[in-house]
Amino acid sequence: MAKATTTIKQVLNYGPEHAAWFAANQTLFNQVCAFYFDVIQAHVKILDLSNKEALTALEKLTHITQRNPAPVMPLDEVAEDIPAMFRRAAINAALGSARSFFSHLARWQKAKEKAEAKGKKFHERPPVPPRTWNKSASLYAGMWKERSDSSIVLKVWTGTCWSWMKVRITGRELPIDAELGSPQLIRKGNQWYLHTPIERQFKSSGTIEKQVTTNKQTKICSVDLNINENIAVCTIRTVEGSILATTFIHGGQRVNGFRKKLLGRIARNRHKTGILAENEQDNVHLWNTIRHVDEQGAHLVSNRIVQFAKQHEATVLVFEHLGNLKPTKGKYSKRGNEKRAFWMKGRIFRYARYKAYHAGILTSRVNPRNTSRECARCHSLVARYAEGQPAEGYTYGAPLVACHQCGMRGNADRNASLVIGQRLTQRYQKQEKPPTPLLAKRERKGSGIGLPQDAKSRNRPSLQSARHGDSNEHGTAQETGMRMVEPVSDSAHQLRLPLE
Ligand SMILES: [Zn+2]
């Protein structure tokens, strides 16, 4: 069984005076957090303990009881009558921050020592403990009661006393079968929300390696992400190689065009106003709109990818690694737009990964080298061209591909998504394969580029196929390639899908 956590976000409905209570409650929570962070800093050894032991130790250091009348650093000096569950939530929040801070500090010290040992100057600044605290208050059991779909009773610090208040809730209902975590009071702008983490258990089909090596019928959904019109092209394929379905997720041009328009507007506004004020965001509204479009686009696309995988009962989702953004020349709006389209690909991957995980689907990534240049059927180098042009050469970003080795013709993005899927299965088939003739030939030749890559690729079979793409001129690619994709019998036919 595997576990997945999601957060249910609900809107709280309250009178204007109660917003001040929530704010006072959060301020107090942060005061208590800051206090405990100081206590931990004064007793760093606490961090060697488990969270549970650390909690006990910290309470002993701070909390007055009959048995413990004179603690070292009494919490009462900061705030009196803190409910136990409020205190514990704050302690755990402080512990989290302290663990993160001290591990950063340790990493910094290590890097510093390493640099000094080599006689180098070390310029990096040390991490600093948080100067301001802006944590959201967690409501442990005892700080809330009588929860229903439409209301909850919360215990909050009003600024003068502790008080129970009943708040109406709207928004998503809590699922019945899930396990609830402690809700948190979250402020966004002027509105307060209740966020409740929920845990769900689902049946896991094992690691990707296990699925791919033990079940030839495991369905893999491979995804090629683009910055052109076809934002995502997904193909479902079994491990043995049958291609079951493909879908094109469109809309790239609309997002790109819209974003470019806004970026152009920002550039013109900046030109008009001249110097930009330091530490002040210009064109706030336009930037917000851009951010919103990117965010929403990434959610829509990732959602459709996972829906498609689910619909075809795929249990593995595979992308290519993003690689580096190659800066291009051009106007501010063009450069900025490409950068954002590239970031959006990263976002789509991250969102798809967590959405897939919730659906019991595992996600992996493969080497991106030449995924668009390789023929999915025979692994030779393909020609990439636009409709109406001769099928030769390689026009970056063109929609069609043709393979002169095996005669495959089809959509370039679909071909890339097939190659991505193949690389995942090749990764686990590696041990059974003798080195390809091509590899031997390369090693003998001792070509400058070939050797270091060969060395690197020992554990990464995905590079092998990538090299086949380069090797078209040797005329060996076809034999090696044919063997690798034997099972893909119908790919030539399948690849001839019309552009949707
Ligand atoms: Zn081919």
Q: What is the pLDDT of residues 309-367, one digit of tens each?
A: 999 999 999 999 987 777 778 888 888 888 888 889 999 999 999 899 888 899 999 99
Distance of CA 324 from the midpoint of ligand 1 (Å): 27
Phi, psi for residue 241 in degrees, rounded to 5? 120, 0
In angstroms, what is the span from residue 176 Cα to ligand 1's centroid?
Answer: 52
Is residue 277 over pLDDT 80? no
State the pLDDT at residue 173: 82
CA angle 467/471/472 to nearest 5° reads 130
Q: What is the pLDDT of residue 465?
A: 40
CA 473 to ligand 1 centroid distance, Å: 13
CA of 406 relative to ligand 1 center, distance in Å: 4
Residue 444 three-state SS: helix
Task: Please report the pLDDT score of residue 174 as a whole number.
Answer: 82
Task: Please report, in angstroms and rounded to a whole number, the separation of the first and last CA atoms in the chain.
Answer: 40
pLDDT value at position 279?
65
- Ramachandran region, residue 192 (left: φ > 0; alpha: ψ -120 to 50; beta: rest): beta
Per-residue confidence band for 212, with pLDDT thresholds at 50, 70 and 90: confident
Q: Is the pLDDT of residue 453 over 90?
A: no
* Residue 377 pLDDT exceeds 60: yes
Q: What is the whole-number distance in angstroms between the Cα of residue 50 and the centre of ligand 1? A: 57
At 97-131, the pLDDT tens digits run 999 999 999 999 999 999 999 988 888 889 999 98
Q: Kindly give the distance from the C-alpha atom of residue 226 to the centroid of ligand 1, in angstroms, as a whole number.
A: 22
* Gap from CA of 435 to ligand 1 centroid (Å): 20
Ligand 1 center–CA 426 separation, angstroms: 17
Which of residues 179 and 62 earns the better pLDDT score? 62
Residue 305 pLDDT class (50, 70, 90 cuts): very high
Residue 448: pLDDT over 70: no
CA of 439 to the centre of ligand 1 (A): 19
Distance 379 CA to ligand 1 centre (A): 6
Distance, CA 106 to ligand 1 centroid (Å)?
52
Q: What is the pLDDT of residue 432?
A: 53
Ligand 1 centroid–CA 465 distance in Å is 12
Distance in Å, CA 498 to ligand 1 centroid:
18
Residue 394 — φ and ψ, nearest 5°?
-135, 105
Ligand 1 centroid – CA 430 distance (Å):
21
For residue 276, name the pLDDT band (cuts at 50, 70, 90): low
Spatial strand order in the sheet of 219-225:
243-249, 232-238, 219-225, 316-320, 362-366
- Residue 490 CA, ligand 1 centroid: distance in Å: 13
pLDDT reading at 413 higher than 60:
yes
Report how far ligand 1's centroid is from the alpha carbon of 409 (Å): 8
Sign of the Cα torsion 179, 181, 187, 192 reads positive
Q: Which run of H or of E encompasses 271?
A: helix 252-273
Q: Ligand 1 centroid to 372 CA: how many Å?
A: 12
Task: Give mean pLDDT, residues 394-411.
Answer: 89
Give distance in angstroms: CA of 342 to centre of ligand 1: 29
Quote the CA–CA distance of 393 and 384 in Å, as a whole number.
6
Distance (angstroms) between ligand 1 centre and the Cα of 291 equals 41
Residue 89 confidence (pLDDT) above 80? yes
Mean pLDDT of the chain: 82
Q: 131-135, 186-190, 303-307, 450-454: which has the highest mean pLDDT?
A: 303-307
Tell me the CA–centroid distance for residue 295 and ligand 1, in Å.
Answer: 37
Q: How remote is the CA of residue 443 from the centroid of ligand 1, in Å?
A: 24
Q: How far is the CA of 405 from the centre of ligand 1 (A)?
A: 5
Instruction: State the average pLDDT over residues 428-450.
Output: 48
The closest of 380, 384, 388 to 401, measured between CA atoms, is: 384
- Report whether pLDDT(450) > 50: no
Q: What is the distance in A from the centroid of ligand 1 to the CA of 371?
A: 13
Ligand 1 center–CA 407 separation, angstroms: 6
How many whole angstroms from 216 Cα to the centroid of ligand 1? 24
Helix (H/G/I), strand (E/B), else coil: 433: coil
Does position 466 have pLDDT exceeding 50, yes or no?
no
Q: 246: CA distance to ligand 1 center in Å?
A: 19
Give the Å distance between the CA of 492 and the centre of ligand 1. 9
Give mean pLDDT, residues 294-302.
Answer: 92
* DSSP code for 404: T
Q: Cβ(481)–Cβ(395) under 8 Å?
A: no
Q: How far is the CA of 301 from the centre of ligand 1 (A)?
A: 30
Distance in Å, CA 438 to ligand 1 centroid:
16
Residue 430 pLDDT: 66
Residue type, 185: L
135-144, 190-199, 444-453: range with lowest mean pLDDT: 444-453
